[in-house]
Structure 1
Amino acid sequence: MTADPALETLLLPFRQGLLQWPGDGVLFLRARDGAPLHELPLPGLVCEQTFKPDADALSAAGLSLNIDGSRKYPLVMVLPPRQRDEARALLARAVSLVAPGGRVLASQGNNEGARSSEKDLESIAGTLHTMNKNRCRAFWTEPLPGLTDPRLATEWLALDAVRRIEDERFVSRPGVFAWDRIDTASALLARHLPERLAGDVADLGAGFGYLSVELLTRCKGIRNLHLYEAEARALDLARLNLASFEKQIPIEYHWHDVTRGLPRSYDAIVTNPPFHTGGGREQPDIGRRFIAVAAESLTVHGELWLVANRHLPYEATLQGRFSRIRTVAQEAGFKIIHANR
């Protein structure tokens, strides 16, 4: 398994005897699988994860993803995300899910906002205990009697609310990709999509649905549209943003890890593939795999429309998978590539 310093640091208080594992249930928000989860007995652990690859890994490891939304837990563990509004909302939710006398325990990388998250948890829950290890910070509350600051909890939970952006054309929320704007690369791709695209079409890594909306607005020959997105929070937004088109053509939404392949073939595929890991490090292999999956999933005359940062080395993968490749545009540090089978 790949090293996960934040996860390892999260469990250190139990290894060192600073905390005792409760016997009657632990909720793990934004959970990830990793070796540290299998090195200690962790009875009653229940996980929540909206990112499909991580959710699949947790399920494959035999960990429970069935959350009882009505119960409170004696311990709620959290791996806070980098985006602060989303992180604050998640911490407020963690505190609201703690049973009387229970604790919240969190861990985060020092370069991903650990100091801010620690201060935020202290603001909403009071005195904390802290330890530093693996360039990460673990921090946990005293036993909590309940919500110590209901007003602040309500305020922070609202930070993650769905809201309208771009002159109210779209709905979005903190934490999803380019959540408060139209991503420059996606907008560039949209401007170059030809109106002739038709038939069965897929949007890989669809986010909150911007490219799909542009496709259905511009290309009247589309017979049906399938959106594939690994982040369930983003896919829920896409459903809202595309609701008005569902009377015109069939639209399907797939909570799916594209790197595992697609279940069917398409006449055209558009994509702005991700190329960062959760820690912000570039990982071009993700984009390469998107390209390979697109090639495998196109009909014999199918075409791919792709946008990427100019420096990303995708050309070799494209040349190995497609018969015709052309760079349609290079602008603002991005490149638009059209490839045919």
Structure 2
Amino acid sequence: MHFQPMRDATTDNALATLMLPFESGLLSWPGDGAVLFLRARDGYPLHRRALPGLVCEQSYRPEAERLERSGLVLRNPEGADAGRLPLVMALPPRQRSESRALLARAVAACTPGGRVLACVPNNEGAKSAEDDLRRLAGPGGSLSKHKCRAFWTAPLDGPADAALLEQWLALDAVRPVAGGRLLSRPGVFAWDRIDAASVLLIEHLPGDLAGRTADLGAGIGILAQALLERCPGVTAIELYEAEARALELARRNLADARIPVGFHWHDVTGGVPSGFDTIVMNPPFHAQGRGDRPDIGRRFIQVAADALRPGGRLWMVANRHLPYEEALGAAFGTLRVHAQRDGFKVVEGEKARV
């Protein structure tokens, strides 16, 4: 079960606008060679005509699954060598450092005479992203449609500013955060700190959590690391995370774990295996858009309840304003609110013993 609607030309305006330069004749699809699509998403605009050589890259599992189901070629992990390319397309993210690093990767991957084409919604920094590409690659073209802006380079013979290219390629580098306790990088959730919700949950995690444990929506491994430090009775931890960039960081952050740790690139809304004694989670409250998505958190609660054995314990933190009480009450026999602070609440649920 997935909770992001299938995008099409109507709902994914950035994808629709990205493809307009080809549909309007402003740009031509390369006649030979691979075309790399960074942060690719599936949708009707990719299926209106043949796109020979298209290779997609997507680190977010729900979007990657959609690409796979549509029969599009998907490469992983990020950074795999595809050689030099006549066209690199991108849907840059909102986070500025990650966006600049992505545009730099695109320019660096172009063969002589190749182009970079990108698109960003107007309310997510389209003008800034276009300016960034021009700083890297020089003047190009653009068009606006569907409240988005597509922009592209002229045929390239290397970057316009080689020093800036190298500087921006390094913006996405893995680096220590939280006083050196964790490794992170721009673009993952709360990348440069331990977020306030996780801090609150960690403060209240009891030391008697034990047995086979899961961390749902594990991010870079913050909660799992806290369990390892605080709960000697935990015998194994399984991390489930939809963003591959975050999961790879979790592998590094938990490399010295004293117990078996599993890492799963997985969309939790699709369910996880059962039989866990303990589950911890700080569920996402939005997808890749800006609006609240309490349905995702409610689904996490149901998945956690299904995955726990009778008498198993859930410890979660959530925004206080999100309507999770009904879902929690329906899924768990016993509920306790342990803390409320800074707009968040820490809830413990115990699965009824049948």
TM-score normalized by the length of structure 2: 0.94
Q: Deviations over 1:272-297 (max 9, x none)?
A: 00011212111111111111100110
Identity %: 59
Shift of 1:335: 0.6
Shift of 1:265: 2.4
The answer (yes or no) to whether the contact 1:73–1:99 under 8 Å persists in 2 is yes
Task: Choose the corresponding residue for 1:87, options 66, 91, 99.
Answer: 99
Q: 2: distance between equivalents of 1:59 and 1:100?
A: 30
Could you say what secondary structure the match of 1:252 adopts? Answer: strand
- State yes or no: 1:119 paired with 2:122: no
Q: 2: distance between equivalents of 1:150 and 1:61?
A: 37
Partner of 1:43 in structure 2? Answer: 52
| Structure 1 stretch displaced more, 26-35 or 62-71 | 62-71
Partner of 1:178 in structure 2? Answer: 190
Partner of 2:109 in structure 1? Answer: 97
Partner of 1:205 in structure 2? Answer: 217
- State yes or no: 1:224 paired with 2:232: no
Partner of 1:330 in structure 2? Answer: 340
Partner of 1:254 in structure 2? Answer: 264
Paired residues for 1:105-184 under 5 Å: 105-184=117-196
Paired residues for 1:219-298 under 5 Å: 219-245=231-257, 248-298=258-308
Could you say what secondary structure the match of 2:220 adopts? Answer: coil
Partner of 2:61 in structure 1? Answer: 52
| Structure 1 stretch displaced more, 276-285 or 57-66 | 276-285
The answer (yes or no) to whether the contact 1:27–1:47 under 8 Å persists in 2 is yes
Q: 2: distance between equivalents of 1:198 and 1:96?
A: 48
The answer (yes or no) to whether the contact 2:135–2:160 under 8 Å persists in 1 is no
TM-score normalized by the length of structure 1: 0.97
Q: Deviations over 1:228-269 (max 9, x none)?
A: 111111111111111121xx1101111111000003321010
Q: 1: distance between equivalents of 2:44 and 2:296?
A: 23
Partner of 1:193 in structure 2? Answer: 205
The answer (yes or no) to whether the contact 2:274–2:306 under 8 Å persists in 1 is no
Task: Choose the corresponding residue for 1:9, options 5, 17, 24.
Answer: 17
Q: 1: distance between equivalents of 2:162 and 2:302?
A: 49
The answer (yes or no) to whether the contact 1:112–1:279 under 8 Å persists in 2 is no
Q: Deviations over 1:2-30 (max 9, x none)?
A: 31010000001111111111122210000
Q: 1: distance between equivalents of 2:297 and 2:14?
A: 25
Could you say what secondary structure the match of 1:129 adopts? Answer: strand
2:35 corresponds to which letter in structure 1?
V
Where does the alignment leave 5 or more consecutive residues of structure 2 unmatched?
1-5
Shift of 1:148: 2.9
Could you say what secondary structure the match of 2:179 adopts? Answer: coil
- State yes or no: 1:20 paired with 2:28: yes
Q: 2: distance between equivalents of 1:114 and 1:133?
A: 12
The answer (yes or no) to whether the contact 2:274–2:309 under 8 Å persists in 1 is no
| Structure 1 stretch displaced more, 173-182 or 18-27 | 18-27
The answer (yes or no) to whether the contact 1:276–1:283 under 8 Å persists in 2 is yes
Shift of 1:146: 2.1
Partner of 2:3 in structure 1? Answer: none
Q: Deviations over 1:151-189 (max 9, x none)?
A: 111100110001111111111100000000110000100
Partner of 1:339 in structure 2? Answer: 349
Shift of 1:149: 2.1
The answer (yes or no) to whether the contact 1:96–1:147 under 8 Å persists in 2 is yes
Q: For the aligned residues, what is the CA RMSD?
A: 1.0
Q: 1: distance between equivalents of 2:47 and 2:322?
A: 36
Q: 1: distance between equivalents of 2:82 and 2:289?
A: 32
Could you say what secondary structure the match of 1:167 adopts? Answer: helix
Where does the alignment leave 5 or more consecutive residues of structure 1 unmatched?
none
The answer (yes or no) to whether the contact 2:61–2:242 under 8 Å persists in 1 is yes
Q: 2: distance between equivalents of 1:263 and 1:256?
A: 12
Could you say what secondary structure the match of 2:237 adopts? Answer: strand
Give the number of aligned pairs: 339
Shift of 1:70: 4.2
1:254 corresponds to which letter in structure 2?
H
